[in-house]
Amino acid sequence: MRRRLLVIVCALVAGLIVALSVPLVRATAERAIQTSFIGRVQDSAWFADMAATALETGRTGRLKAAADRYTSLYDSQVVVVDDDREVVVAPLPVNLEEPQARSALLQALADRPAEQPSVVWPWEDRPFVQAEAVKRDGRVLGAVLIVSPTDRARSEVADHLALVVLGSLAALVIVLIAVATPVVRWVLRPVHELDRATHEVALGRLKTHVSDRVGAPELRRLANSFNAMADSMHASQEQQRAFVAQASHQLRNPLTALRLRVENLEEFVDDPRGLHELQCAVEEADRFGEMLDGLLEMARAEASEAERKPVDVSAVVAHRADAWQAAFDAEGVALTTRIPDGVRALSLPDCLDHTLDTLLDNALKFGDGAPVDVSVTHVPGGRGDDGAASPDSGRAAGAVHGVVEVTVRDRGSGLSAEELSQAGGRFWRSTRHQNVRGTGLGLALTRMLVEAGGGELRLAAARPHGLTATVRLPAAPEPPAIP
């Protein structure tokens, strides 16, 4: 929009400059023509006085000499004709049948005043043609025709035209830089504020507001409506979070009491099948409790408004891999790492720790005992493994610093294409893993935390088989060097 407004403003200013410049150039051209015309009228009148005596007496020597001298001095052609249009004096041959010369001679012989010539522009190459009647005692004896070049007048007009064009371009540039650009920026400032606020709301920051006291009335009404919409969305989200948190919290007490009562029934059940069912009921109660804990943790995470901070990704990944090494060794699963030093990213506090715990736990539980690889990669310039620029990295940290990718890859059976499209949803679990302990909230909570920090969680099939989980975080700027 800014570019379009600048184009419109420039077009209007250019139109105004042209509207003012054209009359100025035309007035200058007419003034130059008027000056030349007056000079030719005076010259033709002088020759007419001299030619009257020459035509009466028949002595034309002096007239010829004057015509020759005038032609050599002013590079003009002087022709004197009698009343029958017969040439009396002509230093240089002239085509009297040329339309402009013929018309001028006929007007002079008819004793009509000469018409002022039209404007001669630099790109035109036509001469001045001026004719004056030769009279004596009111009787027309002949006519004097002067044909002179217009080089000087055209050069003057061309110089003035060039000066006006250069001045107009300079004025246009000055107006564009000093007036149009600041005005357009001032006009679009409320729009840019709305765009920024909309972007913030899209990232989940529903408390974002814009000023409704600047800009045009329509933009102020739009800003007011935007603030009302953001408040409504924030209130609705807060109510949902509060309901989930309160419901999860309130259900824990009766669930704990129910679990205790079910456990107390054990001494009253003698049938082995009853004991088995009793144990299954206790396990379901524990699973229900884990689900409530996950809902509470998700509600707290959604309500969190922590700011992103630089995180030493290399140190965090190395620490969590070392913490999980014992669990992997106990299951006989190989865990390998490729972690370069000094990789930093922007993330919410403890987000990367929680994310790695979830991804490593899933790899251990659902990886079929296959080896698991953990790697850290810094991709400069905000480009990922697909070669496309990362919108999250560009938005969060700028394309200059790039993105940081933390990848957890297992070599198990992986997920099908349909399962990959559903993985990460709340309470979703693969039908092949229904008997594995879990609630289906781990990946959903992880994705929410990663995205809240401006990152991205990608799940993809590994080659030749297995699952690759990649966390992409905006790279943190390099800390200033200590002198």
SS3 17: helix
pLDDT at 258 exceeding the cut of 50: yes
**429 and 346 in a common domain:** yes
pLDDT at 236 exceeding the cut of 50: yes
Beta bridge partners of 311: 345
**470 and 432 in a common domain:** yes
**256 and 334 in a common domain:** no
Q: Which domain holds residue 400?
A: 306-474
What are the φ/ψ torsions at residue 173 (nearest 5 degrees)? Answer: -65, -45
**375 and 227 in a common domain:** no
Per the domain annotation, does 374 fall within a domain?
Answer: yes
**324 and 298 in a common domain:** no
What is the per-residue pLDDT for 441? 65
Tally of domains in the chain = 3
CATH of the domain at 252: 1.10.287.130
Environment class of 31 (CB within 10 Å of its CB; exposed 0-12, middle 13-18, buried 19+): middle
**146 and 32 in a common domain:** yes
Per the domain annotation, does 21 fall within a domain?
Answer: yes
Say if CB 462 and CB 335 are below 8 A apart.
Answer: no
**469 and 322 in a common domain:** yes
What is the per-residue pLDDT for 315? 92
CATH of the domain at 23: 3.30.450.20
Per the domain annotation, does 92 fall within a domain?
Answer: yes
What is the per-residue pLDDT for 386? 46
CATH of the domain at 395: 3.30.565.10
Mean pLDDT rounded to a whole number for the chain: 78
- pLDDT (tens digit, 9 = 90+) per residue, 335-362? 999 999 889 898 877 788 888 888 888 8
**218 and 131 in a common domain:** no
Per the domain annotation, does 196 fall within a domain?
Answer: no
**343 and 219 in a common domain:** no
**403 and 319 in a common domain:** yes
Q: In the listed set 155, 184, 216, which residue is the last one of a domain according to the structure?
A: 155
In one-letter notation, the amino acid at residue 37 is F
Q: What is the rounded distance in angstroms from the CA atom of residue 447 to the CA atom of residue 424?
A: 7
132-137 mean pLDDT: 84
Per the domain annotation, does 129 fall within a domain?
Answer: yes
Q: What is the rounded distance in angstroms from the CA atom of residue 276 to the CA atom of residue 48?
A: 139
What is the per-residue pLDDT for 479? 60
**330 and 208 in a common domain:** no
What is the per-residue pLDDT for 397? 36
Per the domain annotation, does 191 fall within a domain?
Answer: no
Say if CB 383 and CB 390 are below 8 A apart.
Answer: yes
Beta bridge partners of 335: 372
Per the domain annotation, does 120 fall within a domain?
Answer: yes
Q: What is the rounded distance in angstroms from the CA atom of residue 335 to the CA atom of residue 322?
A: 10
- pLDDT (tens digit, 9 = 90+) per residue, 263-305? 888 777 778 888 888 887 877 777 677 666 666 666 655 555 5
Q: In the listed set 93, 120, 155, which residue is the last one of a domain according to the structure?
A: 155
Q: In the listed set 242, 271, 305, which residue is the last one of a domain according to the structure?
A: 305
**463 and 339 in a common domain:** yes
Per the domain annotation, does 412 fall within a domain?
Answer: yes
- pLDDT (tens digit, 9 = 90+) per residue, 77-126? 888 888 887 888 888 777 777 888 888 888 888 878 777 777 777 777 77
